Structure formats: C-alpha cells, structure tokens
C-alpha cells in the first residue's frame, strides 16, 4: 500500500495547492469536502469548484454532509462569530474532528489544510491556529504546506515522513504565489477568493438570527427555505417566502412537496410563494397581495391567485407598508 493522506478541500485555490504539494511527494491524497444545509451547492456537490479543482489536481474527493450537529453548532458556537453569523474557529474545529475519523480510517499521518498564516482575521492568526489544533484533538497532526516555513513543524515533518523543505512560507492575503503555482500545475475549476461563505452574508445572517430566535430546533428543511427568496413574517410563527427569479420559483415549486402551502399567480407572470405556517383567510390574503406587489401589473385585468388547487381573489393591491407582515433580511 502506498502512502495515504487526507486534505480538507473547500474548492478554493489554497486547499487545492496544499493537497497538490503533498501529492508531489508521493502521497495518495483523498480530499474531504464538507457540505451542510448552508452550502450554496446543496444537492449538487459533484459539480462544485471542489469537485472540478480536485479532478484537475489528480485528487480523489469524498463528500461528507455535516448534518444536524453542524446547524446546532452555528446556533451556539463556543468561540463566537465573525462579522455576521460565521463561527469560523468552531467550524474549522468541527471539520477537523470529522477529518480525524477519516484520517484514522485510511492511515494518514496528518490532515492537510490550505490555511495561510494571517490570511483571515479570525481563524488564521497564529494563536487561533494553536486553539484549532488543540481542540480538534490533532495537535502536531495538521499539515499546513502553504505556511509551513513560518510555523512549528508537524509531527510528520519532525519524523521525516514528509520533506518540510519543499513547502512554502506564505503569509497574508495576497494570492500571487498561489496563482503562479496554479499555472504551473495547470489547476482549473477552483473558486475565486471572494466566493465567500453564506454565513458571512449580511442578509442571510439577519434571517438566520431571526429564525434561531423563533425556533428551538432549526433543521436542514428550515435552512433550505431560508436560503431562497424574499422573506416576510406574519406574527411570530408564520413565514412567507417569495421567489426572486425563475430559478428560485422552480425550487419553491419543488419545496411545496415538503408540506408547505404553495401560492402561484393565476394566468399572469409573477413570483411563486410558499407559506410556512397556518393558512388562514387573513394570511392567505397577505400572501396574495405580496405576490401582486412583486409582479408586473397587467393592464385591464383583475389578478387572481392560486393556493394549492384553489383560486382566490387577494383583493385590491396595497402598498407593502399596509400589509400585516414584516420583512426579514436586507435585500428586497
């Protein structure tokens, strides 16, 4: 059996180069790509930047869903949040703990990460790198090839399992060296540095905080709905979501099969809406009027709305401020 290694693969350039540098020393590298209900690629993981870039680098990729424990971690992170609702330190610790299981399974002496010293203000400082190692249970077993020359050697480097002199000493936010290596290795499919995590998005963070405040248990079903559309609340326990474009309308049509009430424009173009909560006459009228507000007017016609299989009259259009709903989020 050859030498085995595992690597955390995000789809960004740094993690792919880190894995490629280890592969260059004769290791068979298996990448681990973690998904969750917060992943922008949810349900399409085999066509992500991680999958495309891994193929170009000759790295096998294993996809692991973090499930409900990860949603619970986002609610109450031990090390707090970044600018929005991104618990970067807790997130990295959690992923490394999952990676540790795979590492022991395949017999890898370390876990490779693409971390660069000083690149990210919360999770890639020297002190937080030490916290991450300690709390993940992987002290001395995390290999950071991009900044290895600036950090204490891992156990594998000390033992001569891998040649430390062939690693790099990158620090800070620049990408010049990484882009040069991408060209050298002919790496393709990786994401742009500004791709970002959904949890760093201000609009999404506002909606998620509101949801955490309303529900004791938030599930992947709740998160999938939260990622989509314009959100409104009717009271505390009722949420209305309107699609912003044809793609979101199609997804909402599919989600209606999961127990939501589905509202669609009847014979005129406009957004699809789903209702998460009781379908009362007052709420039904509010949903219908929201659809009218976000639809183009149709000259000389009175617009009707379909709720599931029933057609109803939402009444005269009203300004959104006159409706008994509250916007959630910042993008409208």
Domain boundaries, the chain: 3-196, 228-328
Which of 176-180, 230-234, 297-301 is the least confident region?
297-301
- What pLDDT band is residue 316 in, cutting at 50, 70 and 90? confident
**Dist CA 159 CA 270 (whole Å):** 64
Instruction: DSSP for 259-322, please give it.
Output: T-EEEEEESS----EEEES---HHHHHHHHHHHHHTS---TT---EEEETTEEE---S---GGG
For the segment 54-74, what is each residue's pLDDT rounded down to a tens digit?
Answer: 999 999 999 999 999 999 999
CATH 3.40.50.620 matches 3-196: yes
**Dist CA 244 CA 151 (whole Å):** 47
**Dist CA 44 CA 47 (whole Å):** 6
Question: What backbone phi and psi angles, to 5 degrees, belong to 169?
Answer: -130, 55
- Average pLDDT over every residue of 280-300: 88
- Average pLDDT over every residue of 148-164: 96
**What is the predicted pLDDT for the residue at 46?**
67
- What pLDDT band is residue 299 in, cutting at 50, 70 and 90? low
**What is the predicted pLDDT for the residue at 194?**
58
Sign of the Cα pseudo-torsion (123, 129, 131, 133, in order)? positive
**What is the predicted pLDDT for the residue at 331?**
67
Among candidates 259, 201, 271, which has minimal Cα distance to 225? Answer: 259
- Average pLDDT over every residue of 181-198: 85
The Cβ-side half-sphere exposure at 300, using a 13 Å CA radius, reads 0
- What pLDDT band is residue 332 in, cutting at 50, 70 and 90? low
**Dist CA 328 CA 326 (whole Å):** 6
Mean predicted lDDT score pLDDT of the chain: 91
- Average pLDDT over every residue of 292-296: 91
Residue 43 has pLDDT above 60, yes or no: no
Rounded (to 5) percent helix, strand, coil in the chain: 40, 20, 40
- What pLDDT band is residue 212 in, cutting at 50, 70 and 90? very high
**What is the predicted pLDDT for the residue at 300?**
58
Q: What tokens appear for 211 in the block?
A: 């949801």
- What pLDDT band is residue 1 in, cutting at 50, 70 and 90? very low
């Amino acid at each position: 059996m050859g030498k085995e290694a595992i690597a955390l693969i995000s789809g960004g350039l740094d993690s792919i180069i880190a894995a490629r540098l280890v592969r260059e020393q004769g290791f068979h590298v298996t990448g681990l790509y973690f998904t969750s209900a917060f992943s922008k690629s949810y349900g399409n993981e085999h066509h992500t930047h991680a999958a495309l870039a891994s193929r170009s680098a000759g790295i096998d990729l294993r996809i692991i869903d973090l499930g409900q424990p990860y949603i619970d971690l986002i609610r109450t992170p031990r090390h707090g949040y970044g600018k929005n609702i991104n618990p970067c330190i807790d997130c990295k610790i959690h992923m490394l703990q999952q990676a540790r299981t795979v590492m022991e399974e395949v017999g890898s002496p370390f876990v490779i990460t693409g971390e660069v010293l000083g690149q990210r203000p919360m999770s890639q400082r020297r002190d937080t790198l030490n916290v991450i190692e300690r709390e993940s249970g992987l002290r001395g077993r995390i290999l950071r090839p991009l900044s290895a020359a600036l950090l204490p050697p891992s156990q594998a480097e000390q033992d001569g399992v891998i040649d430390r002199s062939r690693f790099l000493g990158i620090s800070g936010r620049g990408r010049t060296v990484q882009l040069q290596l991408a060209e050298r290795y002919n790496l393709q499919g990786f994401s742009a540095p500004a791709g970002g995590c959904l949890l760093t998005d201000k609009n999404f963070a506002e909606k998620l905080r509101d949801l955490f405040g309303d529900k004791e248990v938030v599930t992947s079903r709740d998160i999938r709905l939260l990622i989509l559309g314009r959100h409104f609340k009717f009271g505390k326990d009722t949420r209305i979501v309107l699609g912003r474009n044809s793609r979101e309308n199609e997804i909402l049509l599919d989600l209606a099969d999961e127990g939501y009430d589905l509202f669609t424009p009847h014979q005129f173009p406009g957004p699809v809406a789903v209702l998460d909560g009781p379908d009362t006459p007052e709420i039904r009228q509010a949903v219908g009027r929201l659809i009218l507000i976000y639809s183009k007017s149709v000259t000389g016609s009175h617009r009707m709305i379909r709720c599931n299989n029933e057609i109803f009259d939402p009444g005269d259009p009203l300004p959104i401020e006159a409706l008994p709903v509250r916007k959630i989020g910042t993008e409208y």
